[in-house]
Amino acid sequence: MKSENKVALITGSSTGVGAATGLNLASEGWNVVINYSKSKKEAEQTAAACSNFGIDVMVCKANVAEDEQCKNMVRDAVAKWGRIDALVNNAGTTKFCSYDDLDGLTKDDFLNLYAVNVVSAYQMSRAAKPYLEDAEDGAIVNTSSISAISGVGSSIAYAASKGALSTLTLSLAHALAPGIRVNAVCPGFIQGRWTKGFLGERYEEVKKSIEKRTLLNKTSLPEDVANAIVFLIQKADMLTGQLLTIDGGGLINQSKLG
């Protein structure tokens, strides 16, 4: 039986941008799939918060680097609700490594980052394609990064993987048109647990340094990025193949006028 509510499947949505996106869509009356690979407690907390909006939620453990687990997650969502209207490929990982330390990254580091940050988005999009095509306005939004444009990020491997994800976004926009719109958000520094976990004691120092280099003198909260994702899903009927930068004007401030 097909649910009357639209359905969004959001990978990597136990915390951070993914969780904020789930809550945003739930507040708009969407049923949501909350996906996690390790953070079960946080995923259940996010699902409970989404449920407070009176919608239906499914919590799904899956490693989206594995194709079969991607397929199973899509099958479970369709079995429950009979539809998928939006896919948010938000799952991501990194390895911090100084850019001048070329020995600090191995082949396996690259392959792991590409599997999670790029290949998973392809696998999820492929699995969801038949159902997104049946939707009234099927949409895919990928969470890329400003590092895909600037080449600067937590490591060379991370920046390269996000560059590949942005290119994948453009390729899928071609491949899935006209039935499915495909866009990406490219956030800069995002406040929260994920960034704190990688930066540790350097978190506040790095955050303040980046804020000084942005036109708006601030960095994004997960909710800021989620707002852009939901806009691309619900309010951007004429947008596909777009890479939306969300960095407070940091990128354009690198070369000031005058």
Is residue 80 situated within a structural domain?
A: yes
**DSSP string for residues in 133-154:** HHSTTEEEEEE--THHHHS-SS
* Number of domains composing the chain: 1
In the Cβ-directed half-sphere of 68, how many Cα atoms lie within 13 Å?
Answer: 0
For the question of residue 158 being annotated catalytic, the response is yes
Is residue 136 situated within a structural domain?
A: yes
Annotated catalytic residue, options 122, 131, 158, 203 = 158
Is residue 255 situated within a structural domain?
A: no
Is residue 253 situated within a structural domain?
A: no
pTM, rounded to two decimals = 0.94
Tens of pLDDT, residues 102-161:
999 999 999 999 999 999 999 999 999 999 999 999 999 999 999 999 888 889 999 999
**Taking residues 162-188, what's their average pLDDT?**
97
CATH number of 169's domain: 3.40.50.720
How many angstroms separate the CA atoms of 120 and 129, rounded? 14
Is residue 258 situated within a structural domain?
A: no
pLDDT at 255: 56
Q: Are strands 31-36 and 7-10 parallel, antiparallel or unpaired?
A: parallel
Is residue 191 situated within a structural domain?
A: yes
Is residue 256 situated within a structural domain?
A: no
Full residue range of the structural domain in which residue 131 is found: 7-247
Strands of the sheet with 243-246, listed across from one edge:
57-61, 31-36, 7-10, 86-89, 138-143, 180-187, 243-246
Tens of pLDDT, residues 47-100:
999 999 999 999 999 999 999 999 999 999 999 999 999 999 999 988 877 888
Is residue 252 situated within a structural domain?
A: no
Residues 6+ away with beta carbon under 8 Å from 223: 20, 24
